Structure 1
Amino acid sequence: MPAKPRVPLFLISGLAPVPNGELADLLRAGEPGTAVVHHDLRQITEGIVRRRVQLGSRDQLTVLELAHGCVSCTLREDLLPLLRKLARMPQVTRIVLRLDEAMEPEPVSWAIDHVLVGETPVREDVDLRGTFAVLDRTTWLADTTGDETLAERGIRASPEDDRTVAHVAISQAEFSDVLVLTGTPGDAWIGAKGAAILDRVAPSLPRVEMSTVDAAALLAAVPEDARRGEVTDMHGPLLRGQPPLRADCGVAVLVFTAQRPFHPERLHDAIDVLLDGVVRTRGRAWVASQPDVALWIESAGGGLGIGHAGPWLDAPDGPAWEDVSPERRTMASLRWDPVFGDRAQEIVVVTDQATPEEVDAALRGALLTDGELAAGKEVWLTYSDPFGEWHEEPCEDTEVDPSKHDANASKGKEENQ
């Protein structure tokens, strides 16, 4: 008997639970064999997750008690095995995964592709065909420009979750294939400003109105060149599509580039410019005290994170040219320096209250001076470095450590509705 073909999978993300559920219902109604999966994480800090599975006339709620209350554990211990189980059921022809409001689709997509369930990842059973981000225009502008944290809103994905609401809102929009708009802005200015931000953080994505679209039209809106769960290459292009170059409603784009390194302490002092009046920052930084590794800078709202993006091609332990994407090879070739290779600054900043000029001035002031540049790498390595190393919590490991995560510690109580 031939193996069942991979089952189409669609992801839904968004900060507004009611519209998210409405979109899932829309897709479920469009095809009888659609299974809808939703994990409610509102009590995850207490080690409790409520899982709902809808398939045909079945509507089943399972209360999971996890030894470690976090999204990573939920993925490994329940969601990924469940996706495989559903995909192998003959009556399931499509799966809709409705993510909790606190979840970003990119880590879930990565887990589907890379985390082993048994001996293989779940991508062997499901085919991610599209990701939809639901944007409620009533609240989206305030969400993306505010400093509120997920903890303050009561929707954390783990006890240690310190992400901002803005980070989640923008990450959901950036990673999607289609933006599904719902709700009404408070006034014309709010609507125009929200659209201006979308034009700059997700310039190539189609936008559809939930109130006027059906399941077939929604699926048809996924572009041919959609990313379909493709995880961000930290050394790849920083923007998918071309954002407007002119400012609109006070929202503008700065592409900061330079081919000399940052002084670590001056960059640390200047980094506050990315937290005040800035909607979004994403990019690679070359810091003099860490010459062989690119640092990844990302901010949204009042939150900012800096981590390692992997070695430069010119670094002693850098990847081989044939092992990186064609886009990365092309960009490296165009800017290759005989001394510094492909090392360079490339940071995209979407500004709101701040101006591109003041952000550019602050970042340029953090670059090495001509005298510091001439001093050379041996001197740069002596600079005090406030950035240090990037550390991940144990629950971010890509493989389960049995001493930390007991697979038998996840218990389920079935409740049929």
Structure 2
Amino acid sequence: MMSTSPLAPAGWGTTAAGVRPSLTVLSGFWPGATYAVARALLAADPALLLVRHDLADVRVGGVQRVVRDSSGVLEDERISLAHGCVSCTLRQDVLPTLARLARAYPDRDLILMLPEVVEPEAVAAACTHCLVDGAPLTDLLHVDSYVTVVDAEHLLDGLASTDDLRSRDIHAADDDDRSLADVIVRQLEYADTLVLWGRSPDGDYDTGRLAVLLERLTPWATQVHVRDDVVDAQALTRQLRRTHRHRPETPGVLVRGLEGHVLGVHEPHPDCGVVSVDFRARRPFHPQRLHDVLEKVNEEVIRSRGHLWLASQPETIVAWDFAGGGLSLGSLGRWLAFLPDDRWAEASDHRRLAAALDWDPYYGDRHQHLVFVGLDLDPADLHRRLTRCLLTDAELADGEQTWRGYPDPFAGCFPLAELTDHPTQGEPG
């Protein structure tokens, strides 16, 4: 049976296994704006179903589930969970609810509106790895798009906030130590579509600046701007639904660059004051010199991300993740240059292809790739500071054994499992 929606082009959602309802996932840290978009989509299509979960009581084991369409509420039920956390909610109720509705209403598409503290990548992972009645959810639904709604009035304050969710009493579990800014950037960066809702209270120029900022933060996403006082529900539906924008094979933002995907753009000339700097280099960073400039290079930055390598830890891919005034560094595993040939299969096809295309006879696949986005950044100064942290010609000539002996403030921060083999492939000679 084909969808009864008047907005459904013939053949969309059809597979060899039959017709599947289409699922649009809405996220956003400001639920008023997110719900306004959901209501507009409901108004444009009477057949559409909206699923929402209120996590206000999740830490004490309770979740309120509401299912509605344009005519009103169809379900309003309190669910008890054995363990109060977002992951439990996704496994135990969200996915089964979507599966149940897809079976009960095969001719009606779905919108899943996420609570403000849920990151869409967690939902995508659950859809891929968690089975419902022994089968993945995607056997029943076509996941069409991940849409993040941004409130123009509060975006800059949110990105600049140093608060954590716990301080606002909106943490999703007892061990949830995420910051507000971390959640916002992850909602933005996983989305394939962004909706800038409303206008900045400071006028049209600042609203335009927000649009540029979102383009620099997420150059891979389609952006839609909706004035909150004039909403064309039909036009918004055409922009947000049945777009086929979701690409489940796209990796998380911290490994995008390793897999050959766009990590950011180099736009050093300000546009409404917004600057984006893409820093790349082959040489390793000197660990002490890099440590000494960490605070300075992020001083005027709203968001920076990427990966790097240190001369003192040449096997390790180090993730760089800055938002809300806090920088996190972690391990992304080993460079392929330090894996024996028989272990290259552990990396994805995209990772191996990207490495082969950019392979260097001396460094292998090792390189620096960092992106910085901010207001009124000085790109030349930022580039100079980072370049001074790279090894000099004389230091390179000393060789890897000398590098490993450098004083390293990051020592022990990025542990790697021991290899059973001792590879020599790609080691500088």
**TM-score scaled by length of structure 2:** 0.79
Query: Is 1:388 equivalent to 2:378 in the alignment?
Result: no
Matched with 1:36 is: 50
Matched with 1:17 is: 31
Give structure 2 stretches of 5+ with no counterpart.
2-15, 417-429
Range with bigger deviation, 183-192 or 252-261: 183-192
Matches within 5 A, 1:182-331: 182-188=197-203, 189-204=205-220, 205-209=222-226, 211-215=230-234, 217-220=236-239, 226-232=245-251, 234=255, 235-237=258-260, 239=262, 244-316=267-339, 320=344, 324-326=348-350, 328-329=351-352, 331=354
Question: Contact 1:9–1:130 (CA<8 Å) still a contact in 2?
Answer: yes
* Matched AA of 2:290: L
Instruction: Give distance in 2, aligned partners of 1:274 and 1:69.
Output: 39
Matched with 1:85 is: 100
Larger Rg belongs to: 2
Matches within 5 A, 1:31-180: 31-54=45-68, 57-90=72-105, 93-180=108-195
Instruction: Give distance in 2, aligned partners of 1:274 and 1:47.
Output: 43
Deviation at 1:58, TM superposition (A): 4.2
Deviation at 1:244, TM superposition (A): 4.2
Give structure 1 stretches of 5+ with no counterpart.
392-417
Instruction: Give distance in 2, aligned partners of 1:105 and 1:283.
Output: 20
Deviation at 1:299, TM superposition (A): 1.4
**TM-score scaled by length of structure 1:** 0.81
Instruction: Give distance in 2, aligned partners of 1:141 and 1:343.
Output: 35
Instruction: Give distance in 2, aligned partners of 1:68 and 1:389.
Output: 31
Instruction: Give distance in 2, aligned partners of 1:25 and 1:390.
Output: 48
User: Deviation per CA, 1:267-325, whole angstroms, max 9, x where unpaired?
Assistant: 33332235422111121111234323312212112133223323323221576479634
Aligned residues: CA RMSD: 3.2
* Matched AA of 1:324: S
Deviation at 1:51, TM superposition (A): 2.2
Length, aligned pairs only:
390
Question: Contact 1:164–1:301 (CA<8 Å) still a contact in 2?
Answer: yes
Query: Is 1:362 equivalent to 2:385 in the alignment?
Result: yes
* Matched AA of 2:84: G
Instruction: Give distance in 2, aligned partners of 1:313 and 1:192.
Output: 42
Residues 45, 184 of structure 1: CA spacing in aligned structure 2 closer, same or farther, 3 A cutoff? same
Matched with 2:12 is: none
Instruction: Give distance in 2, aligned partners of 1:368 and 1:307.
Output: 21
> Identity over aligned residues, as a percent?
35
Instruction: Give distance in 2, aligned partners of 1:139 and 1:272.
Output: 25
* Matched AA of 1:19: A
* Matched AA of 1:282: R
Q: Hey, which bits of structure 1, 4+ residues long, moved more than 6 A?
A: 222-225
Structure possessing the higher relative contact order (Cα contacts under 8 Å, 6 or more residues apart)? 1
Matched with 1:26 is: 40
Q: Equivalent residue of 2:278, what SS?
A: strand
Residues 244, 388 of structure 1: CA spacing in aligned structure 2 closer, same or farther, 3 A cutoff? closer
Residues 41, 389 of structure 1: CA spacing in aligned structure 2 closer, same or farther, 3 A cutoff? farther
Q: Equivalent residue of 2:19, what SS?
A: coil
User: Deviation per CA, 1:331-362, whole angstroms, max 9, x where unpaired?
Assistant: 43443211221110011111225422333333
Q: Equivalent residue of 1:27, what SS?
A: helix
From 342, 361, 381, give the equivalent of 1:338.
Answer: 361
User: Deviation per CA, 1:106-156, whole angstroms, max 9, x where unpaired?
Assistant: 221122122333533222222111122211111112212332333333322
